[in-house]
Amino acid sequence: MNNNSYEQLIIGAGFAGICVAIQLKKAGFSNFIILERNGHLGGTWYDNAYPGAACDVESHLYSYSFEPNANWSKVFSRQGEILKYLDNCAEKYDINKYIQLNTSVAKAVFDEATGLWTVTDSNGKVYSAKSVISCAGGLSQPALPDIKGIGDFKGEKFHSARWDKSYELANKTVGVIGTGASAIQIVPAIAPVVKELQLFQRTPPWIMPKPDAEISGFRRGVYNRLPFMRSFYRWRLYWVHEMMALGFTRRPGILKLASKLASFYLKRSVPDETLRKKLTPNYIMGCKRVLISNDYYPALLRNNVHLITEHIDTMNASGIKTKDGVQHDFDAIIFATGFQAADGVVMFDLQGKNGLKLNDAWRDGAEAYLGTSVAGFPNFFMVVGPNIGLGHSSMILMIEAQVHYIMEAMKLMKSEGLKFVDVKKEVESAYNDDIQDKLSRTVWQSGGCVSWYQTKSGKNVTLWPGFTFTFMKRTKKFEPEKYELQRQ
């Protein structure tokens, strides 16, 4: 074996990649590497460093079950604190030495004869690995809007996940495009600083108040001294969120009640009827991600903030022209326009058996068995692959379940001396038919909206249509009978 040969090659050092590394170490593996494209670990929590960035799932649930943090300072922590948590985890489990920063994967090719993957990074360096574990994230590729003339704008412009920290927003006239989860955090954070903010809304989101608060020193002390109190709090959060899955997938009546609450919250927050009408969604709650915020509506009431609902026509050197012919001039334009989520999560050239390319296998939409294994791509595993996203709870729960499943596969491959494991096509197809059947009865498909959960043809390739405990049960054991097993 040369220096660049590994048992496992992990792509991405975010929550998923770090979890894989920690569990590999716990399982006794040590010959692995993590390739991380950024200059720091953290993945989405490194990328999304825009003003106001914070989690919208409670931190005591949005953290590893095996690494609780009694000291979260807020119910919903800010980006910096979450990144620090990940830094601490990497340090505690001695993971940093496995991470190679500033390294993007360009190509990965499987060789059936040797049962090995040959991976090439964007600098041309070549690695060999028995297994490739992609932890590249479902929301890692920013989506820029398809607006004519976008390149002509001469002012400053950047995407929310590529925030230009060196740009001074103070006293500038700023346009923000998009009103999703990112925008509703950015707008209140920058509104007091900028001279004028124009927010371009295409579809109003459903918004609920955010039950956020500082976690007092006393409460943190209790969680430190009496860990069962912290565990109980996490357990309670877990079940409250699981109940929300009922509304999205089985009991739409729950959403009806929730939308009444959201409408009441909107009415109380926005007295002006014309503005309120513009902010009222015209689709069933839950179809798009339900947002939570206490400061978004108040920000829209500021004199220097204007909500523009006229659709964008073109962009030009000085700003944006809307369909009504009005020109809006800006110093800077911020694209809070989301991510290429439904286009698949593997953004490099991946070739499995017989030169099969993942992009070809996924021509009709991304599919995988348990969001983890793709037929024809042996020893290739994904964390947060197709149909693993959640509309109702913490993604860390899904990540841990998938990582557990992958660890079971790693252990079996080692103990049985397997050359490769390749999920059977019929297993993958039957699984996905079932997923699509379940999804067809959810609010995400029938709620009357277009969302990033779907491909252009309307297929939902991003969300898990059920409870997290169902997924945990399904990933408890690796099922060799569902795979073609090739011995050495």
Least Å distance, CB 412 to ligand NAP, is 33
Nearer to ligand NAP, 56 or 408 (CB): 56
Least Å distance, CB 36 to ligand NAP, is 20
Least Å distance, CB 303 to ligand NAP, is 23
What residues line the site for ligand NAP (CB under 6 A)? 54-56, 139, 145, 147, 160, 177-183, 200, 202-203, 289, 312, 336-339, 452
In angstroms, the CA 13 to CA 419 distance is 26
Return the bridge partners of 454, or none: 460
Q: How far is CA 27 from CA 22, 32, 60, in A?
A: 9, 12, 26
Nearer to ligand NAP, 115 or 385 (CB): 385
**Type of residue found at 378:** P
Least Å distance, CB 182 to ligand NAP, is 3
Q: Is residue 92 left, alpha or beta, with left meaning phi > 0 and alpha meaning psi from -120 to 50?
A: alpha
At residue 313, φ and ψ (nearest 5 deg) are -95, -60
Residue reference for tokens 């809307």? 322
Least Å distance, CB 314 to ligand NAP, is 11
Nearer to ligand NAP, 194 or 341 (CB): 341
In angstroms, the CA 332 to CA 196 distance is 11
**Type of residue found at 383:** V
CA dihedral 199→201→206→210, nearest 10 degrees, is: -20
Least Å distance, CB 179 to ligand NAP, is 4
Nearer to ligand NAP, 338 or 365 (CB): 338
Angle subtended by helix axes 217-225 and 227-249, to nearest 10: 100
Nearer to ligand NAP, 160 or 460 (CB): 160
Least Å distance, CB 391 to ligand NAP, is 8
CA dihedral 14→248→454→188, nearest 10 degrees, is: -60
Contact indicator for 133, 10 with CB cutoff of 8 Å: yes
Nearer to ligand NAP, 148 or 251 (CB): 148
Nearer to ligand NAP, 23 or 393 (CB): 393
Nearer to ligand NAP, 182 or 387 (CB): 182
In angstroms, the CA 384 to CA 466 distance is 15
Nearer to ligand NAP, 23 or 201 (CB): 201
* Sign, Cα dihedral of 289, 83, 212, 183: negative
Structure-token pair, residue 67? 């690494």
In angstroms, the CA 483 to CA 428 distance is 10
Least Å distance, CB 457 to ligand NAP, is 16
Least Å distance, CB 244 to ligand NAP, is 14
Helix-then-strand count for the chain, H and E: 14, 20
